[in-house]
Amino acid sequence: MSVTAHVPSEKLVIKKPASNSSFLRVMRYVSVRLLTLFITVVIGIYLTIVIANMGGFVDQIIKGEIRDRITQSFLANPSVKQMDPEVRKNLIQEKIALEEKRQGLDTPIAIRNARFLTNALQLNLGRAINITSDSGSKQVRLILLERLPATLLLMGTSQLFLFFSSIFFALSLSRNYGNFWDKFVIALSPTSAVPPWFYGIFLILIFAAAFKVLPFGGMVDSPPPLNTFDYAVSVLQHLILPGLSLVLSSFFISVYNYRTFFLIYSSEDYVDMAKAKGLPSRDIERAYILRPTLPTIITNFSLLIIGLWTGALFTETVFLWPGLGRTLFQAIGQYDIPIIVGSTIIFAYLLALTVFLLDFIYVLVDPRVKIGQ
Amino acid sequence: MNSTQKNLLHIENLVLHFKTTSGVVQAVDGVDFELDSNRAVVILGESGCGKTSLSKALLRLLPRNVEKYSGMVNLHGIDVMTLSDEEYRQSVRWVGMSLVPQAAMNALNPVLKVGDQVAEPAMIHLQLSKAEALILVHKMFQHVGVPLDFVDRYPFELSGGMRQRVALAMALVTSPSLIVLDEPTSALDLLTQANIMNVLKRIKHELGTSFILITHDIATSSELADEVAIMYAGQIVETGDAKDFFPAPLHPYSQMLMASVPRLRSESDPMFITGQPPSLMNPPKGCRFAARCPFRFEKCGEEPPVFQKGNRKVKCWLHE
């Protein structure tokens, strides 16, 4: 075997890195990464706080509301009418100051923002201003937790269905490039420019108003059925229309997207080679198309999972679905800053955590990726 | 039956045309040739004359824009063109013919270990377990000169020469009777080229495999070739025994191609052929080389038939 004679030297050169140095490398990478992600989260949350109270402008609105409400209630009270105008004015001023102090409006906005930020970062979500949970609590944490299952049910079913069906159909289209269904999907992909709530309105018109086969909105019949089976059936019935509108609005663009993605990767030389080797097409798809693109697919999937948290603002509102999206929509309308910030901080933490974990998942699924190099 | 049995491979009128936005490209246009067992034929020609398309047509690795794909490819006496895709996959792919691709760099899946990739065909076609297949892989790695511990490496951890050897081991693993090598060494340095050519010679000698070597590197290919086929503008213009061909090529194109190879301390400069191969979109009528040929005469306006000259064949009116 004369040709192998030069090989041992090549072997020596490559097998060098000691385990100790690679441990240090990974630790250094982890700490730097965590620090930068934390800074990103802090900046993101601070911006959310500033934007949510419109740089202090919301204070003016709330102060105006307090003044208005208290003055009105005093004027409506007959016993106050007898009072000396000066005393009454002082009394009103006092009451307003008290109310402003109660809501913390007397502290400067910068200090309040900073306090808000530190609380938020410690997941101290505080109390909502106006919105209450169904059980009557004003704790932001309780409000969000109460709405979470509804959102997970709606978003979870629709998004997971969308994800897996897109990949399945996209693979089959990329195999049959240029056939009728391929052209059909491409032709329909612009329909995804229409938002899901718009489809929702039409679906309500068709299936609830015209055919009267499905409910208009909500999550269960009222009164809710007593036995579990009927309850589940009722929830499923209410789930169909909002779920369908979420799926319908992004199905074609999503299939188109993945189909093009797979098409690019299936023209790689190694895919041709796998075909020449006589691998069954199922194996080619699994090991030569899906496997090399796994990092991208995993990234999309994990972003989808944390995307469930925000819910579907307008679609939930259109269907009166008691989820996080609708709560957030209400909170924005009522300047309920703690709810907005609370929802955002959790999303920010989830996002940072996902980005952090993805770095390690990449190493597991792609041998070319090394941490900290 | 006797005549087909003697031949390992017998191709007749193989055609592969591609559809493009500006017209039909006649990349392979009526190719005939034959090959015996344990022989190596080298297919020579300029870039863009359809050599790689010929290998694609042989292996049924068709791109999406095929316009026409027809002809007869007889392998071991069976016309494989009549097989369905699934039959072809099971009985021809890597069992009858295997491929060493042009750029082994991209021919290996970046996220699978090279050992597993080499083992795959053996597991599928020979129904071996993974452990048995890996024993075979070890044997093939020894044949082509890849260290055995490379089995657990990923393609990006290998040098270009090693990757090419892995691709070669992959082509050998199911012991097919024919291996198509599409410019297997054109991306490598001279030493590695020579090394791989030696490996090929040894494999041919030890395993009795036949090779179709597609290249434009005349010097290196002459090492391995038993037979030569010259390809020009989608057609084969000359075939013959290597030891007859190299000293005295018949077709004017072959002569000029050979004259273009630089020689040590030659009196004259290496020749080059003026002009370019004709567009395969609208190939000229008659002899396709006529426009660049110094010997052309009136007859060249007609399509030349293939003339038999001893045991050689040439597609040129000069040899009528």
B273 min Cα distance to partner chain A (Å):
32
User: What's the total number of domains in chain A?
Assistant: 1
Domains contained in chain B, CATH given: 2-38+50-95+227-319 (3.40.50.300)
The pLDDT of residue A36 is 94
Q: Would you say residue A72 lies in a domain?
A: no
Contact B99/A275, CB-based, under 8 Å?
Answer: no
Residue A75 counted as domain residue: no
Is the pLDDT confidence value at B308 over 70? Answer: yes
Q: Which residue in chain B is spatially nearest to A290 when comparing CA positions?
A: B111
> What pLDDT is stored for residue B138 in this prediction?
94
Cβ-defined contact of A11 to B147 (cutoff 8 Å): yes
With beta carbons less than 8 A apart as the criterion, state whether A238 and A323 touch: no
What pLDDT does B298 receive?
86
Residue B272 confidence (pLDDT): 76
Kindly tell me if the per-residue pLDDT of B186 is higher than 80: no
Helices within chain B (DSSP H only): 2-6, 51-59, 85-91, 104-107, 114-125, 130-144, 160-172, 190-207, 218-224, 242-245, 252-259
| Within a domain: A269 | yes
Predicted local confidence at residue B109, as pLDDT: 92
> Could B61 and A276 be called an inter-chain contact, meaning their C-beta atoms sit closer than 8 Å?
yes
> What is residue A5's predicted lDDT score, i.e. its pLDDT?
40
Report pLDDT digits (tens) over B93-129: 999 999 998 776 788 999 999 999 999 999 999 999 9
Question: Cβ contact (<8 Å) for B99 and A368?
Answer: no
| Chain A contact present for B109, CB below 8 A | yes
- List, for residues A343-373, the tens digit of each pLDDT value: 888 899 999 999 999 989 999 888 888 877 6
Whether A102 is covered by a domain: the verdict is: no
Q: What is the pLDDT of residue B266?
A: 65
How far apart, in whole angstroms, are the C-alpha atoms of residue B254 and residue B231? 9
Q: What is the pLDDT of residue A12?
A: 41
In chain A, the residue whose alpha carbon lies closest to the alpha carbon of B195 is A3
Q: Which pLDDT score is estimated for B3?
A: 41
- CATH at residue A176: 1.10.3720
Predicted confidence (pLDDT) per residue in B202-213, tens digit: 888 888 889 999
3-state secondary structure chain A: CHHHHHHHHHHHHHCCCCHHHHHHHHHHHHHHHHHHHHHHHHHHHHHHHHHHCHHHHHHHHHHHHHHHHHHHHHHHCHHHHCCCHHHHHHHHHHHHHHHHHHCCCCCCHHHHHHHHHHHHHCCCCCECCCCCCCCCCCEHHHHHHHHHHHHHHHHHHHHHHHHHHHHHHHHHHHHCCCCHHHHHHHHHHHHHHCCHHHHHHHHHHHHHHHCCCCCCCCCCCCCCCCCHHHHHHHHHHHHHHHHHHHHHHHHHHHHHHHHHHHHHHCCCHHHHHHHHCCCCHHHHHHHHHHCCCHHHHHHHHHHHHHHHHHCCHHHHHHCCCCCHHHHHHHHHHCCCHHHHHHHHHHHHHHHHHHHHHHHHHHHHHCCCCCCCC
The predicted structure's pLDDT at residue A1: 35
Report whether pLDDT(A80) > 90.
no
Q: Does residue A13 have a pLDDT over 80?
A: no
Band (pLDDT 50/70/90 cuts) for residue A8 is very low
pLDDT at A373: 65
How many beta-carbon pairs below 8 A join chains A and B? Answer: 91
Q: Which of 39-58 (A) contact B at CB < 8 A?
A: none
Residue A179 within any structural domain of the chain: yes
The minimum CA-CA distance between A295 and chain B, rounded to whole Å, is: 11
Of A178, A358, A171, residue with least CA distance to A265: A171
Determine contact: A236 vs chain B, CB below 8 A: no
**B156–chain A Cβ distance below 8 A for any pair:** yes
Say whether the ipTM exceeds 0.95: no
Q: Is residue A1 part of a domain?
A: no
Judge whether residue B67 has pLDDT over 60.
yes
The predicted-structure confidence for B9-40, as pLDDT tens digits, reads as follows 999 999 999 998 888 989 998 898 888 888 99
User: Is pLDDT at B318 greater than 80 in this prediction?
Assistant: yes
Across A225-229, average pLDDT: 91
Q: How far is B131 from chain A (nearest CA, A)?
A: 19
Q: Which residues of B touch A277 (CB under 8 A)?
A: 93-94, 98, 120-121, 124, 170
**Averaged pLDDT, A67-72:** 88
Does B268 score more than 80 pLDDT?
Answer: no
Residue range of the domain that includes A274: 148-336
Model confidence at A136, pLDDT cuts 50, 70, 90, reads confident
pLDDT for position A18: 53
Percent of chain B with pLDDT over 70: 96
**A65 inside 8 A of chain B by CB:** no
3-state secondary structure (DSSP) of residue B239: strand
For residue A243, the model assigns a pLDDT of 95
Q: Does position A10 have pLDDT exceeding 80, yes or no? A: no
For A175, name the nearest residue in chain B, comparing CA atoms only. Answer: B64
Of A7, A275, A279, the CB nearest to B147: A7
Q: Do A367 and B124 touch (CB under 8 A)?
A: no
What is the pLDDT averaged over residues B45-67?
88
Sort out which chain B residues have CB atoms less than 8 A from A289's CB and list them.
Answer: none
Q: What is the pLDDT of residue B311?
A: 83
User: Which tops the pLDDT comparison, A12 or B67?
Assistant: B67
What are the pLDDT digits (tens) for A297-314?
A: 999 999 998 888 888 889
B159 and A177: CB-CB below 8 Å?
A: no
Question: What is the predicted pLDDT for the residue at B128?
Answer: 93
Record: contact A11-B149, CB cut-off 8 A: yes
pLDDT above 60: residue B4: no
Q: How confident is the model at residue A11 (pLDDT cuts 50, 70, 90)?
A: very low
Cβ contact, residue pair A269, B106, below 8 Å = yes
> Band of the pLDDT at A187, cuts 50, 70, 90?
very high
Q: Measured between alpha carbons, how far is B281 from B17 in angstroms, rounded to an integer?
A: 9
Q: What is the pLDDT of residue A104?
A: 79
Work out the minimum CA distance from B293 to partner chain A, whole angstroms.
37
Q: Per-residue confidence at A175, pLDDT binned at 50, 70, 90? A: confident
**Residue predicted with more confidence, A133 or B3:** A133
The verdict on residue A192 lying in a domain is yes
Contacts of A344 by beta carbon, 8 Å cutoff, 6+ apart? A44, A45, A48
Residue of B58, B111, B118, B206 to mutate when probing chain A, most A C-beta within 10 A: B111
Look at residue A271 and tell me if it is in a domain.
Answer: yes
